[in-house]
Amino acid sequence: MSEYSVVTLSRHIIEEQRLHPDATGAFTSLLMEIALAAKMISRQVNKAGITDILGGIDDQNVHGEEVQKLDVYADRVLFKALDHTGTLCCLASEEHESFLPIPDKFPAGDYVLLYDPLDGSSNIDVNVSIGTIFSIHRKVSSAERGSLEDCLQPGRRQLAAGYVIYGSSTMLVYTSGTGVFGFTLDPSIGEFVLSHPNMRIPEPSAKVYSVNEGNWSAWSAEQRQLVEEMRGEGEHGGFSGRYIGSLVADIHRTLLRGGIFMYPGDARMPNGKLRLLYEASPMAFIVEQAGGRASDGATRLLDVQPRGLHDRIPVFMGTSTFVDRAVGHLTATLGSPPVGAGAGGSGESR
Ligand code: AHM
Ligand code: MG
């Protein structure tokens, strides 16, 4: 990319908006505010360890100021970046039990934002990449400031989804249904610049499986067989294992290199660990838009109807051939789907 032809996130979004003559600009403004919040979170994440930002909520730093945990900070920054814009009717965050209507003092809009402010935050202390995940729906209820119905929409109705990865560089990756675009934050100008146009999961892709094998003893026999096959020498074997334990980082690698990411249901967590609305669904939209596949082990993730704001769901996503193979194995072996598959999270709430 020449320094004369840099494509910033704002330019990209505005150019996308021009493709939709009836667009009001609300969607553009929403994405720009998310990007601003991402920059603020990135700044704070990069300070982790230097300041006392890692402390608990009640801690005080050396200046005697109250210190917030980073995930609480990220949650508040996102809400405050978006509450006044007039674009949203409500938000729902992994950090809050109930959805968050836009305060009465601000105008309400037609969109709904679901977000995980700082996913993988337990990795902060060890300098592993973490991220913010977001998902945007159009309001479907008649409630001015949103309702549960607006939040509990299947993933296929998402208008946009994205994540920000706070890694060796900060990147924002998003889709609005016309491909996946990756922007890298250039700290010298404070702008996200297009670095990864039209991201596609490579085919054929790297043979990589990504799963927490510490859960092996709780896995179903079918899940164990699947991983044993991938580790083996046979036709469907020859895989390497890569697991960071930070969803944004594991999915980012899967997008760039290929492979399969799994968080299956098991005997201890029948629906796995990941949340449908804040983690699985937005990542599924991105992965599909990049040419990959995303399933709960039986059903396309984007078709699953959420029943509660904090539903959990088994996740298998990445290179289409690997996900198809995994789903085929899990649904065919012994004739039964994996524990929790197709359950749509069974309405489990925190
Ligand atoms: P969090 O939302 O509490 O941060 O947990 C979600 C994270 C994901 O980033 C990651 O994929 C998963 O938890 C890892 O879980 P585990 O430690 O069980 O492997
Ligand atoms: Mg999370």
Which string of DSSP letters, residue by residue, matches 97-118? SS-EEPPTTS---SEEEEEEEE
Token pair 């960071």 is found at 244
Cα-to-centroid distance, 277 and ligand 1 (Å): 14
From 146, 312, 330, 299, select the one nearest 224 (Cα to Cα): 330
State the ligand closest to the CA atom of 216.
1
Q: Which residues are registered as beta bridge partners of 208?
A: 240
pLDDT of residue 27: 83
Question: Strand 88-93 to strand 100-101: parallel, antiparallel, or no bridges (unpaired)?
Answer: antiparallel
* Per-residue pLDDT at 82: 96
State which H helix or E strand residue 286 sits in.
helix 281-289
Q: Give the phi and the psi of residue 69 in degrees, each rounded to 5.
A: -70, 150
* CATH fold of the domain at 3-196: Fructose-1,6-Bisphosphatase; Chain A, domain 1 (3.30.540)
Tell which atom from ligand 1 comes closest to the C-alpha of 131.
9
- Please tell me whether residue 158 adopts helix, strand or coil conformation: coil
Give distance in angstroms: CA of 252 to centre of ligand 2: 15
Q: Are 307 and 278 in contact (CB under 8 A)?
A: no
- For the record, the structure tokens of 279 come out as 């983690």
Centre of ligand 2 from the C-alpha of residue 68, in Å = 18
Closest-CA residue, ligand 1 atom 7, reads: 120
Which amino acid is residue 132, in one-letter code?
T
Mutate to test the pocket of ligand 1, among 69, 72, 273 (most ligand atoms within 8 A of CB): 273
What topology is assigned to 208-331 in CATH? D-Maltodextrin-Binding Protein; domain 2 (3.40.190)
**Ligand 1 center to residue 242 CA distance, Å?**
15
Q: Where are the CATH 3.40.190.80 domain residues in the chain?
A: 208-331
Which pLDDT value is given to residue 308?
97
Delimit the CATH 3.30.540.10 region(s) of the chain: 3-196
Q: Report whether 306 contacts 217 (CB < 8 A).
A: no
Ligand 1 pocket by Cβ (under 6 Å): 94, 116, 119-122, 212, 245-247, 250, 273
Between the CA of 144 and the centroid of ligand 1 the distance, in Å, is 34
Q: Encode the chain (350 residues) as per-residue pLDDT tens digits.
A: 566 779 999 999 988 888 877 777 888 889 999 999 999 999 998 887 666 555 555 554 444 444 458 889 999 999 999 999 999 999 999 999 999 999 999 999 999 999 999 999 888 888 899 999 999 999 999 999 999 999 999 999 999 999 999 999 999 999 999 999 999 999 999 999 999 999 999 988 899 999 999 999 999 999 999 999 999 999 899 999 999 999 999 999 999 999 999 999 999 999 999 999 999 999 999 999 999 999 999 999 999 999 999 999 999 999 999 999 999 999 986 544 444 444 444 434 33
Which ligand 1 atom lies nearest to the CA of residue 275?
2
**This prediction's pTM:** 0.91
Strands 191-196 and 180-186: antiparallel
